[in-house]
Amino acid sequence: MALSDMRGNPVSTDEQSSLEAYEQAQSLFHGYYGDPVGLIDQALADNPMFVMGHVLRAGMLITASDRCVEPMLRESVEAAEALHDIANERERRHTAAARAWLNGEFSNALRRYADILIEHPHDTLALQVGHIGDFLLGRSAMLRDRVAGILPVWNSQMPAYGYVLGMHAFGLEETNFYAQAEAQGRRALELNARDPWAVHAVAHVMEMQGRVEEGIEWLNGRRDDWSADNMLSIHNWWHLALFHLDREETAEVLALYDGRLRESSTGQVLDLVDASAMLWRLLLRGVDVGARWSDLAQVWRDRGGTGYYAFNDVHALMAYLGAGDGAAAQQLIEAMEAAAQDSGTNAMMTRDVGLPVAHALIAFVREDYSLTVDLLRDTRLIAHRFGGSHAQRDVLALTLVEAALRGGFRAMAKVLTAERMALKPASEGNRKLASRAAAL
């Protein structure tokens, strides 16, 4: 007889041990802890007919946003498809959603995960994969609404409710509902203090509001809950470094970069994105980071996987430009141009945002500030199309401002810095940019 998971979702297996492993792996996945893929791999080795195990593995691999895991994703999708006859309808829908992502149809995949939630609003796998997918595609409203649509049928007695609230908090923050986002994030942490996504959501609120001192205190005060054995830890260290950067504490930022962001020389693409973004912010401030650019560029070169996701490509380009590796930069541009000719979602992301941003970054390091401004002033308005958060995409706005300042475009610089001051008047970094614009 088929079983149900802890939230009442139908599962085709009748093996209790498989379902227990599934719940353990999914719990780790919700909190980005440990090795959930390894755990579900063992369950699948014991029971290769466990359909929900294959689609859980596929969903986790989707959230990596990395071409390097594509062979593993294909393996999971094809294994689930081979079990079509024994799968239930929910599992078939998961399989179809993962297949769409594998085929490069990212938007179609997210729609399919949303359809699963309409019928199964307690399906936390469909929710989390969809939520991270919305983040990867820069769909701010859906980051909020995908969760809001199912919240009425949830309550605090249900397993994983805290994680659901943490996701909602991030969606609220990305749509500028800062007070509600912070309240929801804090509520999530009351239910589950070790939810790094909720910690991260509140940190985002403080970043967007320029609450630097509070942000540092918030992340430092909760280190034990997010900094160990957690895939999100480097991103939260990145947020801590951002707060210190706003206070011009360059030595502290470099210490965090060396000791935390690049501590283990991880090749995880999300961690490399954070490393590139931090070094680029330091480059904009004229800080000499020594051999760090070259070391980071080597990691990007070794891993390859370009032309899969434009957001990653742009951050790889930052490393190549910072390291002065013109050959690698040119190869990457060619890979992006080829990707732009494809028919998948990334083709649009690359055409609309990835390539214009890439050419703007190249222009910036060549000191062609006029071209940098020309490319970024309009592209920033649609930059959400290639994914990331407001805080991550702010590196484009900072590059635009710096190009206007260095190029002597006084009127433009004054307007751009006034925009920033209106949003974050408490930011010391914004005040310094405004002062430089006024002094041109």
d(CA 84, CA 197): 34
In contact, 319 and 279? CB cutoff 8 Å: yes
Pair of tokens at residue 330: 């040119």
The structure's pTM equals 0.96
Among the listed residues 122, 63, 64, 47, the one whose alpha carbon sits nearest the alpha carbon of residue 90: 122
Average pLDDT, the chain: 96
What would the pLDDT profile of 39-84 be if each residue is shown by its tens digit? Answer: 999 999 999 999 999 999 999 999 999 999 999 999 999 999 999 9
What would the pLDDT profile of 186-218 be if each residue is shown by its tens digit? Answer: 999 999 999 999 999 999 999 999 999 999 999
Among the listed residues 228, 183, 176, the one whose alpha carbon sits nearest the alpha carbon of residue 202: 183
d(CA 58, CA 55): 5
Pair of tokens at residue 35: 């090795």
> In whole angstroms, how far apart are CA 313 and each of 107, 292, 350, 386, 387?
19, 19, 9, 10, 12
What would the pLDDT profile of 81-129 be if each residue is shown by its tens digit? Answer: 999 999 999 999 999 999 999 999 999 999 999 999 999 999 999 999 9
